[in-house]
Structure 1
Amino acid sequence: MRSSDGCHRPLLHVVAAALIDGDGRVLVQQRPAGTHMAGLWEFPGGKIDAGETPEAALIRELDEELGIAVAQACLAPAAFASEPLDDRHLLLLLYVCRKWDGIVEARHAAALRWVYPAQLHGLDMPPADRPLIGLLEALL
């Protein structure tokens, strides 16, 4: 990947989920203190490990971060974002999920919030997540 300054940047592949509850609200989590972009609100998810499919990575991340179990059949690809990030380039794959087992809990986040898609505009979110808001509004 060649950046605007002519340098090559390795791709960082990340997956995230827009968990949608029965009222049409989306779950976002707040990045904890001491982490990159601390305090920002984001869709739950994380990095894709070597040899993992995006769906397997997202199922693993949702279990680790929120304590929920998600079947691959319940993940619907929705959108992606592409954003320069320090010395890498972020490629974020967003899935929509309306069904999971377990109670959502903040295992690695400072806080969780269920919000309607239009309310996402008022949250301080990472640059890669912001373009996904309008797409979610259109989908939901």
Structure 2
Amino acid sequence: MPTMRAVVQRVSSASVVVDGATVAEINETGLLALVGVTHTDTREQAAKLAGKLWNLRILPGEKSCSDVGAPIIVVSQFTLYGDARKGRRPTWQAAAPGPVAEPLVNAVVEELRALGAQVGTGVFGADMKVHLVNDGPVTLILDV
């Protein structure tokens, strides 16, 4: 059964640009989380993902964002549920539609902020340019 998914990268810097304007930026070690939502995801899963992101020990010295107050950028990414097993054109059937996905991505952000995280975000549904310097490189796929 599909679950809420995130691709998480440890970064030394990252930014999100929409229509030429920077909407989120970090210039220190932190995390960039691309978050995908499927049809059956819940607010409880959003809270679990937020807790996982906040406490994930992938920063230098096996620290977490909660240990050192490192910033996090959360970007909605429906393409994490793209399926290209057949043919050359992916299908997006497993990705939740905007009215389902947007509140759940927002819930991840709200939960992170409630935990004390400094969180930047992309703009849901916008054409975003995501810039990052992957530190390590460290990249994980989280399914909750």
Q: If each structure's helix is expressed as a fraction of its own residues, which one has the higher value?
A: 2
TM-score normalised by structure 1 residue count: 0.31
Q: Which has the higher contact order (CA 8 A, sep 6+)?
A: 2
Please give the TM-score of this superposition, normalised by the length of structure 2: 0.30
